[in-house]
Amino acid sequence: MRKLLFIAALIVGVSGIATAQDKTQLEKERQELQRELKEMEGAYNKIKGQKKQTLGQLSVLNRKIQLQEQYINSISKELKSIDDDIYLSNLEIYRLQKQLDTLKSQYAKTIVYAYKNKSNYDYLNFIFSSSSFNDAVKRIAYLKSYRAYREKQVTTILETQDLIAKRKQQQLGRKVQKNEALTNQTKQVGELAVQKKEKDAVVSQLKSKEKDIQKQIATKKKRDKDLNNAIVAIVRREIKAAEDKAKAEAKARAEADAKKKSEEVVKKTANPTTPVDETKTATTKTTTAPTTTAKRNEPTKKPDSYLDLNAKDVALNSSFQANKAKLPWPVDNGIVTMRFGNNKIENTLLTFDNPGITISTPSPGANVKAVFDGEVVGVYNLGDGMAVTIRHGKYFTTYSNLNGVGVTKGTVVKTGQSIGRAGKDDDGSGGQIDFILMIESRNIDPSPWLRR
């Protein structure tokens, strides 16, 4: 039984530490979800009353539903954590109750023994029956320690009873928290059902305007294609420039090495210091000639990236990578209304690929900022808006649908520096930019790179 109680105590102790860590992480996640849900709720309320249903509205609803489901899931995790706490607390109460029963039993035995030997004559007889003075002193010390042991038993019993009472009070508190969490979960599930109905209504209206939406998608595809072609052309130009520079530097180094060797040969010929052994010279020529030929014929290995060769680019690439999930947003108070990659309208054949993410702002003209240090390598007009491309080593960020630009090609920018203003969204009531992130000519999802 003692072994089982010890194991239970150990489990409670270890689980208590793990549970405290889980609670902290769970609370942090829930607060983040609540913050994002609040932002998304505000964005959705702004576009909810619009007569014209758009792809952005559906995207916001989808994201809102996704966050709502994550929030409900976090409540489920909280309920599991509470149940675990209640279970572990029950184990602790059981262990303490067993300990209390043992203490009471031991104390009862001492009381019975003391009652049977309560006469002062018995105590005196116990002392005076000692065989020596030292033995008598030991017996007196024993009686004092026995009395102290009984007093400690009483103290331990009272402390254990208080601890059990506290644990039971904590149980009541956790049960109240569980009821509150269950109530909140029921409320959030109801809100999720409402959101899904709203989504079905928006999808139905978009489906009824499938031809108009198809035109919107076709326009966006053309705009994205033109933008992508412009970015790729800029990236290729930068790679070619880096390649030409690397080859020129390699050629200059080779010419310098050849010139240095030539000068050394001339110097040795003009000032011979030691006699030449023709036999050794012939041997050396015979053995070294093939090696020299092999090195001369060995193909030069092409680097993985010409944008990751010089010290400046290497440092910039490393710093950019180290800031994944820490990059600031290109606009303040922005929300993603169209995610990266494939976007599809449910129950329709309408689909399109987004080369980056579309970020909506409360109003047009919002300040657009560089997300990292770099150099502006392109400023161009796409007809319905301006675009700016910035190089960060082998990484390229593009900010499109700008109605004003405050930088020029060759401008060196810092993180957070203003580069332009956001243009209007499709409905004309808010602001919007398209944010694209590329590793050389390859598009990647910018969302995981931005600060959460």
Residue-wise pLDDT for 76-114, tens only, equals 988 898 888 888 888 888 888 888 888 888 778 777 766
In a domain, 250, yes or no: no
Number of domains in the chain: 2
Asked if 226 and 150 sit in the same domain, the reply is no
Contacts 24+ apart (CB under 8 A), 150-153: 150/107, 150/110, 150/114, 153/103, 153/106, 153/107, 153/110
- Identify whether 249 is part of a domain: no
Residue 299 vs residue 438, higher pLDDT? 438
Question: Which range has the top average pLDDT, 122-126, 223-227, 262-266?
Answer: 223-227
Q: Is residue 39 part of a domain?
A: yes
Do 217 and 167 fall into the same domain? Answer: no
- Write down the pLDDT at residue 303: 64
Same domain for 141 and 22:
yes
Share of the chain above pLDDT 90, in %: 26
- Stronger pLDDT, 109 or 291, i.e. the higher one: 109
Higher pLDDT, 395 or 84: 395
**Structural domain includes residue 244:** no
Answer whether residue 11 is part of any domain. yes
User: Are 404 and 323 members of one domain?
Assistant: yes
Over residues 407-421, the mean pLDDT reads: 96
Rounded mean pLDDT of 16-39? Answer: 71
Between residues 404 and 276, the one the model is more confident about: 404
Whether 202 and 217 map to the same domain: the answer is: no
> Are 132 and 224 part of one and the same domain?
no
Kindly state whether residues 396 and 420 are assigned to the same domain.
yes
Instruction: List the CATH number of the domain containing 430.
Output: 2.70.70.10
Q: Is residue 281 part of a domain?
A: no
The answer to whether residue 294 is domain-embedded is: no
Predicted local distance difference test score (pLDDT) of residue 263: 80
My answer on whether 140 and 24 are in the same domain is yes
Judge whether residue 452 has pLDDT over 80: no
Q: The whole model's pTM is what?
A: 0.64
Residues 112 and 219 in one domain: no
79/148: higher pLDDT? 79
309-333 tens-digit pLDDT: 778 888 899 999 999 999 999 999 8
Confidence of residue 368 (pLDDT cuts 50, 70, 90): very high
Identify the CA nearest to 313 among candidates 245, 239, 385, 392: 392
Q: Which of 191, 208, 225 is the last residue of a domain?
A: 208
Considering only residues 115 and 335, tell me which one the structure prediction assigns the higher pLDDT: 335
Q: Which of 170, 192, 208 is the last residue of a domain?
A: 208
Same structural domain, 65 and 124: yes
Going by pLDDT thresholds of 50, 70 and 90, the confidence category of residue 285 is very low
- Angstrom CA distances, 349 to 63, 283, 343, 345, 446, stand at 20, 78, 11, 7, 26
**What letter represents residue 364's amino acid?**
P
pLDDT bucket at 219, cuts 50 / 70 / 90: confident
Q: How confident is the model at residue 281 (pLDDT cuts 50, 70, 90)?
A: very low
Tell me: do 184 and 217 sit in the same domain: no
Average pLDDT in the 167-183 region? 88
Whether residue 195 is found in the same domain as residue 221 = no
Q: In terms of residue numbers, what domain contains 134? A: 2-208
Domain boundary residue among 189, 208, 227? Answer: 208
Residue 2, pLDDT above cutoff 80: no
The answer as to whether 152 is a domain residue is yes
